[in-house]
């Protein structure tokens, strides 16, 4: 049987979320790299637009379907591959996981992704990205102050962790001062050595350039 195919870009935080989720659930998959910068962005070519009309990564071909949107994909994986759950059993903890997921995936990342920063312009982009990441991380840190155990919500890794780690990487790329967020930093450090997270890291992707810029 063919493996699922993940359309991914090494540094895309949305692709990275799905890579972590696939690794945690030990689902084998093949990567089809889509360069977001080569030739003005391969995600904009006609062929890929048929795969993902948002012209973004990731997209996942699995079970005869093409799925897009990282949060929808993680939920699909959770519902079809319940091993190594990404959501807690308790309904209030599930709400907390999804709250952190949404703060990051709708409140932070969309405002600092590549396509928006191109619109903001070279001169202002660093300040713009810092502003929205800082605003979101204040809220994430506040949420974690009541929810975190070893990880974002209690002591089990969840979707929230899949989203947090790539967002911390982005924060560092834009030189956000992370000292006000000790819980975020602790969880990020905790997950650094986890094999599923390590294998999903941009530096371990087949399309990562030999010399890592902005690492």
Residue 175: what are its φ and ψ, rounded to 5°?
A: 55, 40
Nearer to a second copy, 23 or 112 (CB): 112
Interface with a second copy (CB under 8 A), residue from 36, 57, 67, 164: 67
Per-residue buried b or exposed e for 46-66, using 16+ beta carbons within 10 Å of the residue's own CB: eebeebbeebbbbbbbbeeee
Nearer to a second copy, 107 or 154 (CB): 107
Least Å from the CB of residue 62 to a second copy? 10
SS3 (DSSP) at 5: strand
Residue 83: what are its φ and ψ, rounded to 5°?
A: -60, 145
Least Å from the CB of residue 25 to a second copy? 15
Least Å from the CB of residue 72 to a second copy? 4
Least Å from the CB of residue 215 to a second copy? 26
**Site residues (CB under 8 A) for a second copy, limited to 182-211:** none
Residue 130: what are its φ and ψ, rounded to 5°?
A: -60, -40
Interface with a second copy (CB under 8 A), residue from 38, 138, 150, 175: 138
Interface with a second copy (CB under 8 A), residue from 79, 122, 123, 211: 79
Q: Does the bond joining 58 to the residue before it have cis omega, within 30 degrees of 0?
A: yes
* Burial classification of residue 103, based on how many CB atoms lie within 10 Å of its CB (0-12 exposed, 13-18 middle, 19 or more buried): buried
Element (H, E) at 174: none
Nearer to a second copy, 115 or 208 (CB): 115
- Asked if 76 is part of the footprint of a second copy (rule: CB under 8 A), the reply reads yes
SS3 (DSSP) at 68: strand
Q: Give the angle subtended at the CA of 25 by the CAs of 23 and 26, to the nearest 5°.
A: 60
Give the pair of three-digit tokens for residue 75: 């939920």
Least Å from the CB of residue 209 to a second copy? 27
Nearer to a second copy, 119 or 193 (CB): 119
3 to 17, 82, 136: CA distances (angstroms): 18, 18, 36
**Site residues (CB under 8 A) for a second copy, limited to 93-122:** 94-95, 98-99, 101-103, 105-107, 109-111, 116, 119
Q: Which residues bind a second copy (CB under 8 A)?
A: 52-54, 56, 63, 65, 67-73, 75-76, 79-80, 91-92, 94-95, 98-99, 101-103, 105-107, 109-111, 116, 119, 128, 131, 135-136, 138-139, 142-143
């Amino acid at each position: 049987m063919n493996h699922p195919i993940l359309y991914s870009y090494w540094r895309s935080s949305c692709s990275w979320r799905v890579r972590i989720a696939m690794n945690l659930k030990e689902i084998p998959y093949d990567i089809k790299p889509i360069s977001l910068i080569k030739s003005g962005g391969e995600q904009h070519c006609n062929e890929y637009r048929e795969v993902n009309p948002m012209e973004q990564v990731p997209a996942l071909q699995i079970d005869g379907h093409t799925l897009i949107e990282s949060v929808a994909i993680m939920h699909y994986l959770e519902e079809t591959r319940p091993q190594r759950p990404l959501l807690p059993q308790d309904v209030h903890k599930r709400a907390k996981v999804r709250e952190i997921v949404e703060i990051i995936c709708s409140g932070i990342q969309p405002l600092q992704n590549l396509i928006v920063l191109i619109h903001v312009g070279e001169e202002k982009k660093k300040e713009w990205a810092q502003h929205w990441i800082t605003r979101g991380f204040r809220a994430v840190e506040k949420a974690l102050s009541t929810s975190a155990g070893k990880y974002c919500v209690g002591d089990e890794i969840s979707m929230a962790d899949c989203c947090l780690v790539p967002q911390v990487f982005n924060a560092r790329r834009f030189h956000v001062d992370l000292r006000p967020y000790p819980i975020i930093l602790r969880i990020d450090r905790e997950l650094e050595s986890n094999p599923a997270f390590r294998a999903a890291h941009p530096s371990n992707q087949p399309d990562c350039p030999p010399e890592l810029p902005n690492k």
